Structure 1
Amino acid sequence: MVEEPEFDVLLSSSGDRGIDLVQTVRSVTGLSAWRSKQLLEATPTTVVDRTWFEAATEAVRRLNALGARADLLCRWCERVISLEDCPVDPGPCSSPFLSPDGCPASRPRG
């Protein structure tokens, strides 16, 4: 079995729902409210580092639902992926570890 790539959750804007976003960042990261607020104030920033595709997409969905702008970063091919673009074209994947069509971001959601 081939190991799955890890993904980061990149936050490029935090929107205007401050308290709700702080609570969501706390929920997806396990950080304190104070540290979560610091992350939101430091945008653009990485909110979640090196997690599985399913966990990363759930975090992105939750943040985007509150008006923030979050995307995925594949740690293997370094592509920034918007959830609206999933499944992505496997062609640009340049991972030395995984075939281009093996990336979870390239698979249809089901």
Structure 2
Amino acid sequence: MSESFLLVCDDLPHTVVLTDSGPRAIEVVKLLHRRTGLSLWHCKSLVSQLPAAILENLPEEVATAMVDELREAGADAHVQVSE
């Protein structure tokens, strides 16, 4: 007789990856500053070195909301499952 088990895992951590700052890079920098608490200088540095992991170890809902905000500011970003 064989047994099978269903493993239920907690929500895996997610990472927000910014791939393009778009035409309104200053707005993206300001958004990153507000949402991450990083200095404006650090946020500008992240935007100039794309692709960049902006936020890590987030629940999927929070990561998706951040990606939506970045896209509204004209940027291109996506969520990936953290390893």
Taking structure 2 as the reference length, the TM-score comes to 0.83
Letter in 2 for 1:19: I
| Structure 1 or 2: more strand by fraction | 2
Letter in 2 for 1:3: D
Partners of 1:56 and 1:43 in 2: CA distance: 18
| Structure 1 residue 9 corresponds to structure 2 residue 16 | yes
User: Partner of 2:57: helix, strand, or coil?
Assistant: strand
Listed one character per residue, the Cα deviations across residues 45-77 of structure 1 (whole Å, up to 9, x for unaligned) are 11111111111011100101111100000125x
- Tell which has more relative contact order, 1 or 2 (C-alpha 8 A, sep 6+): 2
CA contact (8 A) 2:21 2:74 kept: yes
Runs of 4+ in 1 over 4 A off after TM superposition: none
Aligned-residue CA RMSD in angstroms?
1.4
Partners of 2:9 and 2:80 in 1: CA distance: 19
| Structure 1 residue 69 corresponds to structure 2 residue 71 | no
- 2:5 aligned residue: none
5+ long unaligned stretches in structure 1: 77-110
Taking structure 1 as the reference length, the TM-score comes to 0.64
Partners of 1:28 and 1:37 in 2: CA distance: 14
- 1:48 aligned residue: 55
Partners of 1:47 and 1:67 in 2: CA distance: 16
User: Alignment length, in residue pairs?
Assistant: 76
Find the structure with the greater CA-based Rg: 2
5+ long unaligned stretches in structure 2: 1-7
